[in-house]
């Protein structure tokens, strides 16, 4: 095994998905090629002033962690409601970054090993989705369940895979096109921790990225007996190589156990995005970035050529991410490109006044916010983009091709 490969890569996963992006390079990029999601002409309505967006994503390996928690801690069935929220929010918040706040039509695709995942789990997933939709409707965001498919794939799926497809239609004039990001500008980060007014419990900030590393580096070898929760071809020293159990307290923050912190439902920022549009309009925003795959480096994929994103005022590292770094001494450079590290949504705005308003309105909804960085001309490279992270007396540079 190549020793210079990250533990993430050794476990068969990738935060950047370079090979996937290479595979789709030649495909049509839509009518707003620089937007956060692919935007299509209005195929459904045939109106040249409108557009369609369809998005697919899921809860990833966090579903496998939910299975482990459910199986080993007294079958706490409500853990599955958080997992369907993870799957839905990974779609909805990407769509929010393009400027749409619905209405959304949602379809679910669940692949399960029926011998291990009974119908009561599927029922919890469906109920959890409906509860999320009901909450969003309170904030004027309409989501309708169009059904889906639950496939019994015991020959292919070790436990369960939970994915969603979401489609929406919106005026082209309302699209937030991240290709408009240019220098100078300010980056406002919105905390992934704490408790927003629409949440019923504090959030650890984990989201739904980096869970392969998180669970295997954190949880101890006792969990290796649950062979259905990991790929058999993985080298055994990479499987559950940590020191914790799911019900151990989270270091530095005993309001969470290790399990509840890792399974904290992915926060949706859609009510915040809708509120910002209501109070500030859309023209104030050059772009929104959902810091999912790629973590704090995600923004480097967007914006005009020849700019650098300098992030030199990040939130203090939340306790969960401190633990994830310490338990395996994961390189900080890898931490920033695997995890959101304390904020999972960014807004790029032109002025200090607009940044201050974003912070004010976010805090009124229970979400911490701050200016985490700025956009400058990339004096060393007029073609590419780059991200520079300066935090905790460290600096890391991540170059991106234009």
Instruction: List residues bridging with 41 in a β-sheet.
Output: 51
Q: Which of 14-23, 64-73, 246-255 has the lowest mean pLDDT?
A: 14-23
For residue 1, pLDDT over 60 is answered with: no
DSSP 59: -
Give the mean pLDDT of 319-326.
Answer: 97
Give the mean pLDDT of 152-159.
Answer: 95
Query: So what's the pLDDT on residue 12?
Result: 61
Domains and CATH numbers, the chain: 7-202+263-400 (3.30.1330.10)
CA distance 305 to 378: 9
CA distance 264 to 200: 11
Supply 306's token pair.
């020849």
Q: Provide the percentage of residues in the chain whose pLDDT is more than 90.
A: 90
For residue 378, pLDDT over 90 is answered with: no
- Average pLDDT over the chain, rounded to an integer: 93
Query: So what's the pLDDT on residue 21?
Result: 52
For residue 16, pLDDT over 60 is answered with: no
CA distance 225 to 307: 49
Give the mean pLDDT of 4-26.
Answer: 59
H or E, element range at 192 = none
Secondary structure of residue 372 in the 3-state scheme: strand
C-beta of residue 371 within 8 angstroms of C-beta of residue 355: yes
C-beta of residue 133 within 8 angstroms of C-beta of residue 94: no
pLDDT-derived band at 2, boundaries 50, 70, 90: very low
For residue 233, pLDDT over 90 is answered with: yes
**28 vs 385, more confident:** 385
C-beta of residue 401 within 8 angstroms of C-beta of residue 342: no
DSSP 242: S
> From the CB of residue 67, how many other CB atoms can be counted at a distance below 10 Å?
24
CA distance 286 to 98: 11
Query: So what's the pLDDT on residue 24?
Result: 57
**11 vs 141, more confident:** 141
pLDDT-derived band at 401, boundaries 50, 70, 90: confident
Instruction: List residues bridging with 189 in a β-sheet.
Output: 346, 370
Q: From edge to edge, which strands make up the β-sheet containing 394-400?
A: 285-290, 343-349, 185-191, 369-377, 307-311, 385-391, 394-400
Question: In 235-343, where does DSSP find H-type helix?
Answer: 258-262, 270-280, 319-328, 332-338
For residue 203, pLDDT over 90 is answered with: yes
**5 vs 139, more confident:** 139
Whole-number Cα distances in Å, 164 to 60, 90, 109, 332, 384: 11, 9, 6, 32, 33
Whole-number Cα distances in Å, 166 to 92, 163, 337: 8, 10, 26
pTM, rounded to two decimals:
0.93
H or E, element range at 28 = none
Q: Provide the percentage of residues in the chain whose pLDDT is more than 70.
A: 93
pLDDT-derived band at 383, boundaries 50, 70, 90: confident
For residue 25, pLDDT over 70 is answered with: no
Query: So what's the pLDDT on residue 379?
Result: 82
For residue 63, pLDDT over 70 is answered with: yes
Q: How far apart are the first and last CA of the chain?
A: 32
Q: Using DSSP, how many helices (H) and how many strands (E) does the chain show? A: 11, 12
Decide: residue 368, CB within 10 A, 0-12 exposed, 13-18 middle, 19+ buried: middle
Query: So what's the pLDDT on residue 3?
Result: 46
Query: So what's the pLDDT on residue 22?
Result: 60
C-beta of residue 165 within 8 angstroms of C-beta of residue 109: yes
**236 vs 5, more confident:** 236
């Amino acid at each position: 095994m190549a020793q210079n490969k990250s533990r993430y890569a050794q476990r068969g996963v990738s935060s950047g998905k370079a090979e996937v992006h290479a595979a789709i390079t030649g495909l049509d990029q839509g009518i707003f090629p620089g937007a956060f999601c692919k935007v299509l002409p209005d195929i459904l309505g045939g109106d040249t002033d409108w557009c369609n967006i369809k998005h697919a994503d899921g809860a990833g390996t966090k579903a496998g962690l939910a299975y482990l928690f459910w199986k080993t801690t007294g079958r706490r069935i409500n853990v599955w409601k958080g997992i369907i929220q993870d799957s839905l929010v990974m779609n909805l918040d990407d769509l929010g970054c393009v400027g749409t706040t619905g209405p959304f039509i949602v379809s679910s695709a669940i692949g399960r090993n029926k011998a291990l995942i009974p119908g009561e789990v599927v029922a919890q997933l469906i109920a959890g989705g409906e509860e999320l939709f009901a909450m969003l409707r309170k904030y004027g965001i309409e989501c309708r369940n169009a059904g889906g498919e639950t496939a019994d794939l015991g020959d292919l799926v070790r436990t369960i895979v939970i994915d969603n497809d979401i489609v929406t239609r919106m005026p082209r004039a309302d699209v937030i096109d991240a290709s408009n990001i240019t220098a100078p500008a300010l980056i406002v980060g919105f905390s992934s921790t704490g408790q927003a007014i629409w949440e019923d419990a504090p959030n650890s900030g984990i989201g739904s990225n980096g869970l392969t590393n998180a669970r295997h580096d954190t949880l101890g070898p006792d969990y290796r007996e649950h062979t259905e929760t990991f790929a058999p071809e993985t080298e055994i020293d990479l499987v559950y190589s940590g020191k914790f159990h799911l019900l151990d307290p989270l270091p530095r923050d005993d309001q969470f156990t290790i399990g509840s912190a890792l399974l904290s439902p992915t926060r949706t920022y859609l009510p915040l995005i809708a509120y910002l549009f209501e109070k500030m309009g859309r023209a104030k925003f050059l772009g929104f970035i959902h810091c999912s795959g790629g973590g704090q480096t995600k923004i480097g994929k967007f914006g005009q050529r020849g700019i650098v994103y300098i992030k030199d005022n990040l939130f203090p590292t939340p306790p969960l991410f401190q633990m994830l770094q310490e338990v395996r001494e994961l390189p900080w450079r890898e931490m920033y490109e695997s995890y959101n590290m304390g904020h999972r949504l960014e807004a790029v705005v032109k002025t200090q006044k607009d940044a201050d308003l974003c912070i004010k309105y976010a805090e009124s909804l229970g979400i911490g916010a701050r200016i985490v960085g700025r956009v400058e001309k990339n004096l060393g490279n007029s073609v590419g983009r780059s991200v520079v992270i300066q935090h905790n007396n460290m600096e890391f540079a991540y170059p991106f091709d234009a």
